[in-house]
Amino acid sequence: MKCTLQTVPHFNTYRLKEKKLMSYLSLKKGEHHLYKSCKTNLIFVMKGSITVTYDTYKNTSISSDSIFLIPVDKIVYVVAKEDSVFVCISFYAVAQYYDKELMDPYIKTISNKNNQIKVLKLNDLLKGISKLISSCIEDNVVCNELIVQIKMEISWVLTNFYPPKEFAEFIYTCLNDDEIFKESVLSNYLKVTNVTALCRLLGYSSAVFSTKMKHCFNEVPNTWFKHKRAEAILQDIYTTRPIAEIALHYNFKSLLRFNAYCKTTYGLAPKKLREVIDNKRASAIDK
């Protein structure tokens, strides 16, 4: 199944089910781009040379055949030193690649005194993946399943074919306590049905979890959880995914309970919600 393609000048965003998956950016020499990283992004520089600035990391020069990470919730400023092309891939759950026993000795020695982003040069395996991404973009055959597979391949190469010290330095900027907590919450909240279960899954007491949620997300846990879960469920209802499959995916014990949840949360049963959006889409097409 191919994804839909939304086009903006110099900026193509591939979407499936309204979820941003991968972005392709082309800049002429001297052009700049400013964006907020809503997720941790893995950046492939495919062509040219750019400078990247965020937080205290100032004007890091990055050339072609390189990758680097941008942590979640950062305002990033990119300037093209020459005609450049790069691809941003959303890269959730960087913390899952952190092997504490193996990498802690290296993490403790990282000083970042020069405030430069850690950049990895592509090895032969990542160069092959880079060429695959370029070919898929050129042929417009990017889809959800392909991007998931590409991310799995990238993760496998990074964790198995780069020295632990180099990999530790690479993911260091995404590994402070707040970033690890955010990544953990965003990667796991849809696996459970309530905040208590999420605390248990992540290994936090209710009090500690509440404090960290207020600090990292600026909301109390129950409010944040209910809003994000309702948002995700509604997105799925507005697709062609079977209602029973959605209910099962979000751990509802029966369709009856799922219907009751939808009526309480959205004011309508799931089938009615789908009918409403289908009618709106049909009306928009007729116009």
pLDDT along the chain (287 residues), means of 10: 31 38 87 82 92 87 92 87 91 65 69 70 94 85 78 88 86 72 82 92 88 90 94 91 93 93 94 86 65
Residues of the chain with CATH 1.10.10.60: 184-286
Is the torsion defined by CA of 134, 2, 78, 110 positive or negative?
Answer: negative
Residues of the chain with CATH 2.60.120.10: 4-174
Tokens representing 169?
A: 């330095």
Q: Note the pLDDT of residue 150.
A: 87
Q: Note the pLDDT of residue 94.
A: 65
Domain 184-286 has CATH 1.10.10.60: yes
- Taken as a whole, the chain contains a residue count of 287
- Calculate Rg over the CA atoms of the chain: 21
Taking the whole predicted model, whether its pTM rises above 0.75 is answered as: no
CATH homologous superfamily of 4-174 equals Jelly Rolls (2.60.120.10)
Tokens representing 131?
A: 């060429």
- How many angstroms separate the CA atoms of 87 and 15, rounded? 14
125 CB burial (10 A radius; 0-12, 13-18, 19+): middle
Are the C-beta atoms of residues 67 and 123 closer than 8 Å to each other? Answer: no
Q: Note the pLDDT of residue 32.
A: 92
Q: Note the pLDDT of residue 17.
A: 35
Q: Which amino acid is at 234?
A: L
Q: Note the pLDDT of residue 81.
A: 95
Sheet of 120-121: strand order equals 4-8, 11-16, 19-27, 84-90, 41-47, 66-70, 120-121
Q: Note the pLDDT of residue 268.
A: 93
The DSSP annotation for 28-85 comes to -TT-EEEEEESS-EEEEEEESEEEEEETTEEEEEEESSEEEEE-TTEEEEEEESSSEE
Torsion-angle region of 30 (φ positive above 0: left; ψ -120 to 50: alpha; else: beta): left
